Amino acid sequence: MKMILVRKFRVLILMVFLVACTLHIMIDLLPKLERRSVRSDGEMGCACSQNHNEESHQQGWGKVRPKNTGEPGWPNKHTLRILQDFSSDPSSNLTSHSLEKLSGTVDKNESFRKLEQQEGPRDIADKQLIQERSINKAHVGTGHSRLAALFQHPLYKSSVPPLTEDDVLFNVNSDIRFNPKAAESQDWQHVVNEGNEEEVFMPTGEAHIDSYPNWLKFHIGINRYELYSTQNPAIETLLQDLATLKINTVAMKTGGTQLKLILTFQNYGQALFKPMKQTREQETPPDFFYFSDYERHNSEIAAFHLDRILDFRRVPPVSGRLVNMTKEIRDITRDKTLLRTFFISPANNICFYGECSYYCSTEHALCGKPDQLEGSLAAFLPDLSLAKRKNWRNPWRRSYHKRKKAEWEVDPNYCEGVKMTPPYDSGTRLLDLIDMTVFDFLMGNMDRHHYETFEKFGNETFIIHLDNGRGFGKYTHDELSILVPLIQCCRIKKSTYLRLQLLAKEEYLLSRVMEESLQLDKLAPLLYRPHLDALDRRLRIVLNAVSDCLEKHSYNDVVEDDWDSSDAKDKTT
Amino acid sequence: VPEPPKLQKLFSHPLYQPQDPRTPAHRNLLLGYQRATGSYRKRVAHHNRKRRAHHAAQNSSAPLTEAVFDVSAPWLQFHLEISQDALYPRASRTVERLIDWMGNMTVISADLSPDEKALNGECDCNQVVKPSGTHLKVILQFQDYGKAMFKPMRQRREEETPEDFFYFVDFQRHNAEIAAFHLDRILDFRRVPPVAGRLVNLTSEILKVTANEDLEWVFFVSPANNVCLFAKCPYTCKTEYAVCGNPHMLEGSLSAFLPSLNHAPRLSVPNPWIRSYTFAGKEDWEVNPSYCDWLKQTEPYTNRKRLLNMMDLAIFDFLIGNMDRHHYETFSKFGDEGFMLHMDNARGFGRHSHDETTILAPVYQCCLVKEDTWLRLRLLSRPEYRLSDVMRESLSRDLLETVLTEPHLLALDRRLQKVLQVVEECVQKHGEGSVIMKEGGQQAAATG
């Protein structure tokens, strides 16, 4: 009897021990799992950015390629194999864990397409609602505003073709339903309104579109032709949200080459934080290669404004913000690796350096003053599980090697090959690429190795201009090699050409409208004066390049008429 | 070349004259003449044989520059003159010859430093304080077989160390190496191996003459068409970028090699006032006010002369603002009595607007100073021998222009005042007799 009791007692103790152990392991694993889910939550940083490392590059693609050649729907009719294989799925380098998650979302997507069919008309009506409330309030400055005048110009008044269900990225309801976090706790509306005086509750308890957080309105507004419409009022407020909303959690973005943080706001919106590394006046040293250049927070912000002024609208909204490193990063992060790198400098400032492959060391620590740190906050694109993106290798990608040259640098007829290769042989893709070339040349960004599109829209859609941190590095130098696609192909959209000409005119001078636009940001002034002046200088170089093309070729061969015929875009679809 | 006025006046001051004629110099020399020259002759011959063979194997048409044996080579004279007192005698012209020699002599080969080779290419990027082998330095060998350590320019003269930088991540400055040598000579310590500035042609004087593939590997041409080289480990870890010539020429410091460890072994001793080399850690001396009392009871600092030498080192480091003195070296031959070598001063002269008083901790904790040093410091604070003036004059001898900017020179005067103040406070507390010490001979040291 006694023995049995003792044994039972032993078993009991063993059980307790076992339970304690399991709990311990669970608690230990939880943060890791959480981080992993953050990692696989596709965000705008794009899956390719890990490929900066010059040496690892070739291997990386070697792995991706076979996957894509096996993809159906990719005709193998041309000889330029490398070009054909440019596309790669951003999800291809996710962990098996997240692949599972993705395969699950395919079903979800299908089911939500069905939903869409039922509720389609209502959603489009909702969309119209957003668009009708056209505002330009941000630019209603006192006195004469060049920026407001620019946006009033007929060249900026073109509207996208009528949108069908296939042209919008999201059905309004499904985005919320399938956003796991927002779906879990429907109380985000309350959180959103906490700060505001007027609290909006729908009598039915159903969320009305006006009560959606601005990041969601931004996501809903994405369509085949643009990331956001000129009239979408949510963009201005989203910019303000980025700069002011309370930050709930911070995680380090893994896989990137330079330190980036993922911030989650109280309304479940997320943003990518790039800290300030250089002062406004500092130039990239002349001996730095493009792949060793720093990422600049002010370049991210300025790129968004430049893209909007060029009327491309292909950069997700970015705001500047002074972040309190103690309260808004250190105290709320559960990332132990990040936490470990915090220290107090000899000058009593709070510093940290994080973990990444480029410039994450004590020598490059980011220090506040004493704890205020400047940075850029870029709004996240919709989760990859909801809106898959395709990652394309830029045909004019650089070698990312100290001594090697890329093919386009040695072959003057390189564009002829590209023109014959899908997807550049049809639609507006090549012209979109040249738009991006102009955009990159204006800011001096040599680091455009990949670009992304939304998979839903196929090949007839715009290019997302992500990762602009390496622009605005040198104001004394114009890197002409960035313009090579334009020079080699001698093609440009008429709408782009007309706007570039407009921005070279005194009353709409690019540098002045940029200055005015950037003035709206909290961290203004964002660009050192010589950078602004360089914009005008480079704009003239672009226009001269087009003129040179016009001398050699006929007008219609160079300038693609996407302007006069209002249904030009319809034709391409 | 006549000495510039103030400096000449300083060096002819009685305090800078040989004071102790009792010690015959030759008895305390580091090297024996016969042994040193004999070994030198053998090594030159061996070196030439090896190079000829290598040259023939490579079938290269480039002319081969052979090493020349020369008994009067400045570097050999320097080695032969090292004594128990100091690295070089006061009156010797060898130092001047050595500086000219390093600035002009033909380079016949270049190599990585032994401590970098010892790392064997290993590099731990998570290490906050990386071993000294990871810093960018190249050994240059001259035609007369002498060697010097080349440290390239990393920072412009006007740049200060950023305020958030810890001492262990600070840059290595070539001008600090040069200036530290001159300061050490002016203070009459004579414990820094002679250093000269030189414009080095990275291509013809390093890349083309090196036989080391690892060294060749770190060279590349930048987008601005300049020749650049990097320190392998920090570059791989992305903690620092390369240094680049313009397009080939890059200035740097050359510091003369000490005699080979085979002939004159050295001891590396941890500095008792070492820092924690962590972000937040504190060492015993930083928290314990009676640290020096404990140290006085500890070998080898029970030897009064050794402890006084520590004070000299602290004063020297405070004047240049060097917080990175984790070790010092001595020649084994001279034992505990021997002087300390003040090597690796590249982290001095980083901030002219800041005086790091904790470097003076040995002085204010022990309240000790050598009488000689004390008298010289007082002399250098007088207008006719003002430290900044004699430094400026002395540095003008270097081939590189303006080794130190004016703010750094003026900071020397300010810091000198602070040293004097600290000592005076000690004198007020403990009385002159127990603070200002005669170094004396061996007898005095034994009683200490």
Residues B107-160: tens digit of each pLDDT: 999 999 888 888 877 788 877 777 776 788 999 999 999 999 999 998 888 888
Q: What is the pLDDT of residues A200-244, one digit of tens each?
A: 444 444 556 778 899 999 998 999 999 999 878 899 999 999 999
Is A286 in Cβ contact with B224 (below 8 Å)?
Answer: yes
- B165 at the A interface (CB within 8 A)? yes
- Cβ-based burial of B429 (10 A; exposed 0-12, middle 13-18, buried ≥19): exposed
pTM of this prediction exceeds 0.95: no
Under an 8 A CB cutoff, do A344 and B280 touch?
yes
Neighboring chain A residues of B244 at a CB cutoff of 8 Å: 287
Helix, strand, coil tally for chain A in percent (to 5): 50, 10, 40
Q: What integer pLDDT is reported at residue A114 of this predicted model? A: 38
Q: Looking at the complex, report in whole angstroms how far the Cα of residue A269 sits from the nearest Cα belonging to chain B.
A: 32
The whole-angstrom distance between B414's CA and the closest CA on chain A is: 21
**Mean pLDDT, rounded, for A239-251:** 93
User: CA-nearest residue of chain B to A345?
Assistant: B164
| B200 touches B252 (CB < 8 A) | yes
Phi first, then psi, for residue B148 (nearest 5°) are -145, 155
Q: Which of A156, A7, A98, A131 is nearest to A495 (CA)?
A: A156
Q: What whole-number distance in Å separates Cα of residue A448 and Cα of residue A453?
A: 14
Distance CA A232, CA A217 (A): 9
Angle between helices A494-503 and A529-552 (to 10 degrees): 130
Which listed residue (A311, A383, A435, A447) is catalytic? Answer: A447
Query: Which helix (DSSP H) or strand (DSSP E) does residue A355 occupy?
Result: none
- pLDDT tens digits, residue range A350-390? 999 998 888 888 888 999 989 999 999 999 999 999 899 99
Task: Locate the chain B residue with the closest alpha carbon to A350.
Answer: B164
**Contact call for B239 and A359, based on CB within 8 A:** yes
Q: Quickly state the pLDDT bin for B26 (edges 50, 70, 90).
A: low
What's the CA gap between B26 and B417, in Å, rounded? Answer: 38
CA distances from A128 to A124, A132, A157, A230 (A): 6, 6, 16, 13
Q: Between B167, B241, B280, which is nearest A343 by CB?
A: B280
Per the CB < 8 Å rule, is B166 touching A347?
A: no
Q: How many CB pairs below 8 A link A and B?
A: 66
- Searching chain A, which residue's CA lies closest to the CA of residue B223? A287
Q: What is the average pLDDT across A142-166?
A: 84
The answer to whether residue B444 neighbours chain A at the CB level (below 8 Å) is no
Instruction: State residue A32's pLDDT score.
Output: 52
Active site residue ranges of B: 324
CB atoms within 10 A of CB B152: 22
Q: Which of B164, B216, B230, B359 has the highest number of chain A CBs within 10 A, making it the mutation to test binding with A?
A: B164
> A373, exposed or middle or buried, with CB in 10 Å at 0-12, 13-18, 19+?
buried
Other CB atoms closer than 10 Å to residue A457's CB: what's the count?
Answer: 20
Quick check: B91 and B18 in contact, CB under 8 A? yes
Residues of B whose CB is below 8 A from A345: 163-166
Length of chain B: 448
Are A403 and B169 an interchain contact pair (Cβ–Cβ within 8 Å)?
A: no
CA distance B167 to chain A (A): 9
Give the distance from residue B244's alpha carbon to the nearest chain A alpha carbon, in angstroms.
7
Assembly ipTM: 0.84
Predicted confidence at residue A429, as pLDDT, reads 93
Taking contacts as CB-CB distances below 8 angstroms, the residues of chain B near A340 are: none
In Å, how far is A31's CA from the nearest CA of chain B? 22
Which of A275, A193, A271 lies closest to A239 in space, CA to CA?
A: A271
SS3 for A251-316 is: EECCCCCCCCEEEEECCCCEEEEEECCCCCCCCCCCCCCCCCCCCCHHHHHHHHHHHHHCCCCCCC
Q: Give B-chain residues touching A344 at CB under 8 angstroms.
A: 279-280
Which residues, numbered 217 to 246 in chain B, qualify as contacts with chain A under a Cβ-Cβ cut-off of 8 Å?
220-224, 226, 228, 234, 237-242, 244
Give the pLDDT of residue A443.
96
Quick one: pLDDT at residue A30? Answer: 56
Check CB contact under 8 Å for B163 and A347.
yes
Residue of chain B with shortest Cα separation from A337: B126
The CA distance from A111 to A245, in Å, is: 33
pLDDT in tens, A70-87: 333 333 333 333 343 333
Q: From the CA atom positions of chain A, what is the Rg in Å?
A: 25
Of B160, B171, B238, B276, which to mutate for an interface test with A (greatest number of A Cβ within 10 Å)?
Answer: B238
Asked whether the predicted pLDDT for residue A196 surpasses 50, the reply is: no
The DSSP code for A158 is: -
Helix, strand or coil for residue A178?
helix
User: What tens digit of pLDDT does each residue of B324-365 get?
Assistant: 999 999 999 998 888 999 999 999 999 999 999 999 999 999
B227 contacts in A (CB within 8 Å)? none
Question: How many Cβ atoms sit within 10 Å of the Cβ of residue B205?
Answer: 23
